[in-house]
Amino acid sequence: MTTSTGARPYAALNPALIRSSLAVVERRADALTKYFYAHLFKHNPGLRAMFPERMEEQRDRLFAALTTAILNLEDTDALVGHLRTLGFDHRKFGARTEHYPAVGRSLIATLKFFSGSAWTPRTEAAWRAAYELISKIMIAGAESVPESEPAWWNAEVLRHERRAEGIAVLTVRPDRPYPFVPGQYATLTAPEVPQVWRPYSIANAPRADGTLDFHIRRVEGGLLSGALVDEVAPGGAVRLGPPLGTTTLPKAPQGELLFVAGGTGWAQIKALIEEFAVRRGSATATVLIGARTEDDVYDRGVLELLGGAHPWLRLAGALPARDRPDADATLLRELTRYATAQSLRHAPAEWPHVYVSGPPAMVDTVETQLAMLHRVPPDRVHHDPLARHDTGERPETAAEWFLMKRQVPWIRPRP
């Protein structure tokens, strides 16, 4: 196997053997990850400060990241793309080249401990080759960044507006110019919950004063979202990771675009519309917004202002009935009405580009309906990887672990 990093083929690398080895220990994933971090911190105590105080979710992330890499060992393009982004993003934690061997030693020690008699010299050689490959690609991703690009930006909180119960809009000013494209995300952390990072859409196009808006919904049990909604105040601080994400507009939009938003997914759509207003030429747009309650339309004033100020922008299904809101039915009805009209005018390959942002279930529904009922090609529908909250359930069998397609949703692709 050869990668874009110039790595030589790895003679000992055996993806099938590695997958079968991981299947031996996958039912003990919780214990395995606890042991891994205990081993890592015992032998490298200086690394503890790079991780959050509460490690429950971090332990799950390790296993998800590990299995994602293992599942892609035979798919060079997917492996390199995923791991280069992972290495690039890990700079914000303070990860350096010299840290990777320590992680590898703890990984091998952990797998050997939990594998028992199933661990053989051939198995160990395969894992060492796999980790050498993984770490080289991640290091290459980190080193591909110009030295002038920061690993993170410190930002002052200028405004904190409570728009609804559990929803806040933060305006922050980074300490250096933040070079993002509308539609991208930033990962955030705050001093109240150090080293807990989460991705949030930037809710505006670039401004002359460099400020950024973020729309935050408090998630039940969410450490960072709770702090950002309930604790952070003007004068406080947050830290931003580098911009990520590829759900951005073409340089010269043409025809008509469809934007579909739900909940705080409106933040990403709002930034795209601001950019579209500047670059649209003669193009037009339709916006569909689903909302289950009045609180979900927390930016109602901006919506009404946009609809009144721009004749090229059509709003549909945006404001649910106050007495009987039915977001799902309203959104799907408007989507069907729009899609039916477009299908009469366009062949599937000429369909308008669609940008979708919101809860994963909503994005799935929109994408499925467009594909199945209206034959809209997948390359016409744009959204970021779906970040699903862990339900606490795990696959029951080794086959399910490795046949189930899993993502690492907190990592966003670079443009």
Q: Summarize pLDDT for 373-405 with one digit per residue, the tens.
A: 888 889 999 999 876 544 444 444 444 434 444
Where exactly are the structural domains of the chain? 15-145, 153-240, 256-382
Please check the confidence at residue 2 and state whether its pLDDT lies above 60: no
Q: Summarize pLDDT for 3-62 with one digit per residue, the tens.
A: 444 444 456 788 889 989 988 888 888 888 889 999 999 999 999 888 887 777 676 676
In this prediction, residue 205 carries a pLDDT of 96
Which is more confident, 58 or 126? 126
- According to DSSP, the residues that pair with 217 across neighbouring strands are 167
In this prediction, residue 182 carries a pLDDT of 97
Which is more confident, 127 or 325? 127
Q: Is the pTM of this model over 0.85?
A: no
In this prediction, residue 236 carries a pLDDT of 96
Percent of the chain past pLDDT 90, that is, above it, reads 47
Percent of the chain past pLDDT 70, that is, above it, reads 86
In this prediction, residue 391 carries a pLDDT of 40
DSSP letter for each residue of 39-85: HHHHH-GGGGGGS-S--HHHHHHHHHHHHHHHHTTT-HHHHHHHHHH
CATH topology of domain 256-382: Rossmann fold (3.40.50)
Domain 153-240 classified CATH 2.40.30.10?
yes
Rg, the chain, Cα only: 23
Integer Cα distance of 15 and 130 in angstroms: 8
Integer Cα distance of 129 and 115 in angstroms: 18
Which is more confident, 68 or 371? 371
What architecture is domain 15-145?
A: Orthogonal Bundle (1.10)
Q: Summarize pLDDT for 349-360 with one digit per residue, the tens.
A: 788 899 999 988
Which strands, in side-by-side order, build the sheet including 256-262? 313-316, 284-290, 256-262, 353-357, 381-382
Band of pLDDT at residue 140, cut at 50, 70 and 90: very high
